[in-house]
Chain A
Amino acid sequence: MSPWEPGVFSLILYTIMVVAFVASQLFLAAWLGEKKPSVEKSRPYECGVIPTGTARFRYPVPFYLVAIFFLIFDIEGAYIFTWAVVYEEAGMPALIQMSFFIILLLVGLFYIWKHGGLDWKATYKEE
Chain B
Amino acid sequence: MEGHVQGRMSERFLSLSDSVINWSRKFSLWPMFFGLSCCFVEEAAAFTSRYDLARFGAEVLRPSPRQSDLLIVSGTVFKKVAPVVLRLYEQMPEPKWVISMGSCANSGGMFDVYSVVQGVDQIIPVDIYVPGCPPRPEALLQGLVLLQEKIESLEKPARRVFHLGGGSQGTEAPILVDGINKTRDTRGTGYEAVPIRGTAATPRPSNFWGNRADDMWVPPARRIELSEPDRLVAEAVTARFGDAVRVDSGASDMLTFYVEQGSIKDVLLFLKTESRTKYKRLDDLTAIDESARRDKVWSSSLSQGFTDIGGGQAERAAGRKYPDFTMVYQLLSFDTATRVRVKTGLNAQTPATASVTGIWPSANWYEREVFDLFGIGFEGHPSLRRIIMPDYWEGHPLRKDYPGRATSMPPYTISDAMLDQPIDARELMKRDREDISGKHEFFLNIGPHHVSTHGLLRCVAELEGEEIRRLDLEIGYHHRAKEKLAEHQTWHQFIPYCDRVDYLAGSNSEMSYLLAVEKLADIKVPDRAQMIRILVCELYRLSNHLVWFSTFAHDLGAMTPNFYTFVEREQILDVIELITGGRLHPEWFRIGGVANDLPNGWKEAVDNLVRIFPGRLDEYERLIRKNPIFMARTKGIGRMSLDEAMDWGITGPNLRACGLEWDLRKKTPYSGYDQLDFEVPTDTGGDCYARYLVRVEEMRQSIRIIKQVAANMPAGSYITDQYRYTVPRRDEMLRDIETLINHFINVSSGPKMPRGEAYAASEVPRGEQGYFLVSDGLGYPYRLRIRGPGFANVQALPLMAQGESIADLISIIGSMDYILPDIDR
Instruction: Chain B residues near A47: list those with CB within 8 A.
Output: 445-450, 458
Tell whether, in the assembled complex, residue A125 and residue B803 are in contact, meaning their CB atoms are under 8 Å apart: yes
Could you tell me the distance between the alpha carbons of A47 and B799 in the complex, rounded to whole angstroms? 23
The 5 closest A-B pairs by CB, nearest first: A48-B84, A40-B90, A60-B465, A48-B449, A52-B425
- Which of chain A's residues has its CB closest to B456's CB? A48
Further 14 A-B residue pairs, CB within 8 A, beyond A34-B94, A35-B94, A49-B87: A41-B90, A43-B87, A45-B64, A48-B87, A48-B448, A49-B421, A49-B422, A52-B443, A52-B445, A53-B442, A53-B443, A58-B440, A122-B804, A123-B467
Could you tell me the distance between the alpha carbons of A52 and B444 in the complex, rounded to whole angstroms? 8
Instruction: Chain A residues near B458: list those with CB within 8 A.
Output: 47, 49
Could you tell me the distance between the alpha carbons of A30 and B793 in the complex, rounded to whole angstroms? 49
Instruction: Chain A residues near B443: list those with CB within 8 A.
Output: 52-53
Residues of A77-127 at the interface with B, using a CB-CB cut-off of 8 Å, are 122-126
- Which of chain B's residues has its CB closest to A39's CB? B90
Tell whether, in the assembled complex, residue B65 and residue A45 are in contact, meaning their CB atoms are under 8 Å apart: yes
Instruction: Chain A residues near B440: list those with CB within 8 A.
Output: 57-60
Could you tell me the distance between the alpha carbons of A2 and B422 in the complex, rounded to whole angstroms? 69
CB distance from B512 to the nearest CB of A (A): 32
Can you list 24 contacts pairing A with B, beta carbon distance less than 8 Å?
Answer: A31-B163, A33-B161, A34-B160, A34-B161, A34-B163, A35-B94, A40-B91, A45-B66, A46-B445, A47-B448, A48-B449, A49-B84, A49-B87, A49-B421, A49-B422, A49-B425, A50-B422, A52-B424, A52-B425, A57-B442, A59-B465, A60-B440, A122-B804, A124-B464
Does B396 lie at the interface of the complex (its beta carbon under 8 Å from any beta carbon of A)? no
Q: Which of A41, A52, A62 contacts B91 (CB 8 A)?
A: A41
Instruction: Chain B residues near A33: list those with CB within 8 A.
Output: 94, 160-161
Instruction: Chain A residues near B64: list those with CB within 8 A.
Output: 45
Tell whether, in the assembled complex, residue A124 and residue B467 are in contact, meaning their CB atoms are under 8 Å apart: yes
Tell whether, in the assembled complex, residue A34 and residue B464 are in contact, meaning their CB atoms are under 8 Å apart: no
Tell whether, in the assembled complex, residue B161 and residue A32 are in contact, meaning their CB atoms are under 8 Å apart: yes
Residues of A42-80 at the interface with B, using a CB-CB cut-off of 8 Å, are 43, 45-53, 57-62
Instruction: Chain B residues near A122: list those with CB within 8 A.
Output: 467, 803-805
Does B810 lie at the interface of the complex (its beta carbon under 8 Å from any beta carbon of A)? no
Could you tell me the distance between the alpha carbons of A47 and B422 in the complex, rounded to whole angstroms? 11
Could you tell me the distance between the alpha carbons of A62 and B805 in the complex, rounded to whole angstroms? 12
- Which of chain A's residues has its CB closest to B465's CB? A60
Please report the total number of B residues contacting A with Cβ < 8 Å.
Answer: 45
Chain A contacts to B: CB under 8 angstroms = 31-36, 38, 40-41, 43, 45-53, 57-62, 122-126
Could you tell me the distance between the alpha carbons of A92 and B85 in the complex, rounded to whole angstroms? 72
Instruction: Chain B residues near A34: list those with CB within 8 A.
Output: 94-95, 160-161, 163, 169
Could you tell me the distance between the alpha carbons of A49 and B426 in the complex, rounded to whole angstroms? 12
Could you tell me the distance between the alpha carbons of A9 and B522 in the complex, rounded to whole angstroms? 98
CB distance from A29 to the nearest CB of B (A): 12
Could you tell me the distance between the alpha carbons of A43 and B90 in the complex, rounded to whole angstroms? 10
Q: Which of B86, B161, B467: most chain A Cβ within 10 A?
A: B467
Tell whether, in the assembled complex, residue B448 and residue A49 are in contact, meaning their CB atoms are under 8 Å apart: yes
Could you tell me the distance between the alpha carbons of A31 and B422 in the complex, rounded to whole angstroms? 36
Could you tell me the distance between the alpha carbons of A51 and B467 in the complex, rounded to whole angstroms? 18
Tell whether, in the assembled complex, residue A51 and residue B469 are in contact, meaning their CB atoms are under 8 Å apart: no
- Which of chain A's residues has its CB closest to B802's CB? A126
Instruction: Chain A residues near B466: list those with CB within 8 A.
Output: 62
Could you tell me the distance between the alpha carbons of A47 and B806 in the complex, rounded to whole angstroms? 15
Could you tell me the distance between the alpha carbons of A69 and B804 in the complex, rounded to whole angstroms? 24
Residues of B371-429 at the interface with A, using a CB-CB cut-off of 8 Å, are 421-422, 424-426
Does B162 lie at the interface of the complex (its beta carbon under 8 Å from any beta carbon of A)? yes
Q: A52-B424, A125-B803, A126-B803 are in contact. Are A46 and B444 (CB under 8 A)?
A: yes
CB distance from B311 to the nearest CB of A (A): 46
Does B292 lie at the interface of the complex (its beta carbon under 8 Å from any beta carbon of A)? no
Tell whether, in the assembled complex, residue B464 and residue A60 are in contact, meaning their CB atoms are under 8 Å apart: yes
CB distance from A112 to the nearest CB of B (A): 19
- Which of chain B's residues has its CB closest to A54's CB? B442
Q: Hey, what's the 0/1 contact readout for B447-474 against A, CB within 8 Å counting as 1? A: 1111000000010000011110110000
Instruction: Chain A residues near B450: list those with CB within 8 A.
Output: 47
Tell whether, in the assembled complex, residue A32 and residue B425 are in contact, meaning their CB atoms are under 8 Å apart: no
Residues of B639-682 at the interface with A, using a CB-CB cut-off of 8 Å, are none
Instruction: Chain B residues near A62: list those with CB within 8 A.
Output: 465-466
Could you tell me the distance between the alpha carbons of A45 and B65 in the complex, rounded to whole angstroms? 8
Could you tell me the distance between the alpha carbons of A34 and B163 in the complex, rounded to whole angstroms? 7
